[in-house]
Amino acid sequence: MKIGFIGLGIMGSPMAGQLIKGGHDVYLYSRSKVPEELVSNGGIPCQNGPEVAANSEVIILMLPDTPDVEKVLFGDEGISETLLEGQTIIDMSSISPIATREFASQLATKNVSYVDAPVSGGEIGAKNATLTIMVGANGSMFAKVEPIFKLMGKNITHVGDIGAGQVCKVANQVIVALNIEAVGEALLLASKAGVDPSKVRQALMGGFASSKILEIHGERMIERTFKPGFRIELHQKDLNLALNTARSLGVSLPNTSTAQELFNACSAAGQSTQDHSAMVCALERLAQHTVA
């Protein structure tokens, strides 16, 4: 299949690499230069989004936020004017569920299919092709694109119709943020009490409190390794989506709001580009104690 891929950042680049490895012709575009590794492995660099769309049956987007997706689709150099009947857009970004449905509706007037398929698993999952992929699409379209997803992920779920994937991702980000906050509080408490947090983490990994967040991000907090797998500023964006969606539905998310304030405090301290596990730093500043 001829597949276009727009957005080659921390996640997009290894995801596109999996498609190339899977034997597809992959047309590539990024605002920054297309990574040389993808080209040397057989990827086809393009000058802009419309060139990608003109050569592809399916176009995958992996972009930071809702305005970025809207610009790529409908901006001055957007791909919508290039799209033809029968083509498919797969948006694997994490964006507004409401905007997703609006974009799909606009493209439906051109008989262009739309699939929302946000992912979870971070850079490690992208590199290992073990991403969790949450798909919003009609049944026949899901069957068509599922083989593409299988090259990039392991846990692939057809959640529902268009927009359902984005709703699922918002829920995912709420759970992840609150787990990071909980692990940060627990390790901070242990450290402040004079107990080795690495030993506490080791003990908890064998019990009911065990989780991927405790395993991976707990270690980051103790080792102070905050090089981003998923940046704080991106998680802030996702929690904004959660809170805005909740507000439109009349739902209160009090602990999500607290997690967002902790991310905001990190951002104010110049940590917006660090890994989201650095949320613990905001808790540390409140306690005047560092997990170590």
Q: Which of 33, 71, 169, 192 is catalytic?
A: 169
Vertex 176: Cα angle to 148 and 191 (nearest 5): 140
CB 52 within 8 A of CB 61: no
Contact 59, 68 (CB under 8 A): no
Q: Give dist(CA 2, CA 4) in Å, integer.
A: 7
Question: Alpha-carbon distance 87 to 85, whole Å?
Answer: 6
Which two structure tokens, joined as six digits, stand for 38?
């993808």
Would you call 169 a catalytic residue per the annotation? Answer: yes
Best CA proximity match to 175, nearest among 94, 232, 242: 242
If we measure between CA atoms, which residue out of 77, 38, 76, 32 comes closest to residue 54?
Answer: 77
DSSP letters, 5-48, are EE--STTHHHHHHHHHHTT-EEEEE-SSPPPHHHHHTT-EE-SS
Helix 66-74, helix 97-108: angle, nearest 10: 10
Catalytic residues: 169
